[in-house]
Amino acid sequence: MRQRSRSWRGAGLTIGLVPTMGFFHQGHLSLMDQAIKLSQRVVVSLFVNPTQFGPSEDLDKYPRNEDRDIRLAEERGVHCLFMPRPEDIYTPGHQTWIEVTEVSKGLCGRSRPGHFRGVATIVAKLFNIVEPDMAVFGEKDFQQLQIIRTMVRDLNFPVKIYGHPIVREDDGLAMSSRNTYLSPEERSQALCLNQAVGLARELVLEGCRQRSEIEKKVRDLIASYPLARVDYIFIGDPETLKEPETVPSPALIALAVHIGSTRLIDNGLIP
């Protein structure tokens, strides 16, 4: 992989990276489209990273379809699909980790301890292997995007990071590989996430600035869906991921909700 990248760079070509865990949907494909617009050679990594899954999480059942992913990447015009094995990435005796401490504390970091340590480490490894000029990440996991931006700044990676807006289904559900876990009834109730983001935005734009008041109304909305259970609701600063009692401007509303046994996330920026 590194030889291929260096041969492109030697020819004066810019390289873009799209890190993924595969099972491509339109959201992944839109990241590839963005990278193709911004760089001359695009590498898509496909690696279900075991170190970002907790002991009781869905590593073993995480959806996979490598043949389909290869076809979709090729049709999209991707120049290289990088598909390492876990033993290639985490060699025996691996003991080095990257932690981005402050922005990883809340939101998903609170309920998924160790998750972002695994994310930061695998992304750093991919940057060292592929040596891209830029990388594209989806904004659906906004905390992850901020963690990567912070890591790049703090460790002086020569990689420009681009965020790409959330891609949604026609009814507003944010696209996710985990949506395939949902039964038809769960799928309809999962719309509460986007509705909750919309409610928070509407309340702020109408002049409500008390975080606790907005959070209560968002929780009440989600509680009206019998299959939904809130993991967290965040309303705060999109840069620092802190939550002052008075809603800042701009603000981020982000949430994680269990729909049945499936954990989904969504977010939106409020001007």
Catalytic residues: 28
Which tokens in the block code for residue 229?
């259970």
Copy the structure tokens of residue 146: 């901020």
Amino acid 203 reads L
What are the structure tokens assigned to 5, written together?
A: 């990248």
CA–CA gap between residue 149 and residue 172 (Å, rounded): 27
- Sequence-distant (6+) residues with CB within 8 A of 34 are 136, 162, 164
Q: For residue 203, give the nearest of 217, 222, 219 by alpha carbon.
A: 217
Residues facing residue 266 across a β-bridge: 255
Q: Which two tokens stand for residue 152?
A: 């790049």
Residues in the chain: 271
Q: Are strands 228-236 and 262-270 parallel, antiparallel or unpaired?
A: unpaired
What lies within 8 Å, CB to CB, of 212 at 6+ separation is: 245
Cβ burial, residue 188 (10 Å; 0-12/13-18/19+): middle
* Type and span of the H or E element at 186: helix 184-189
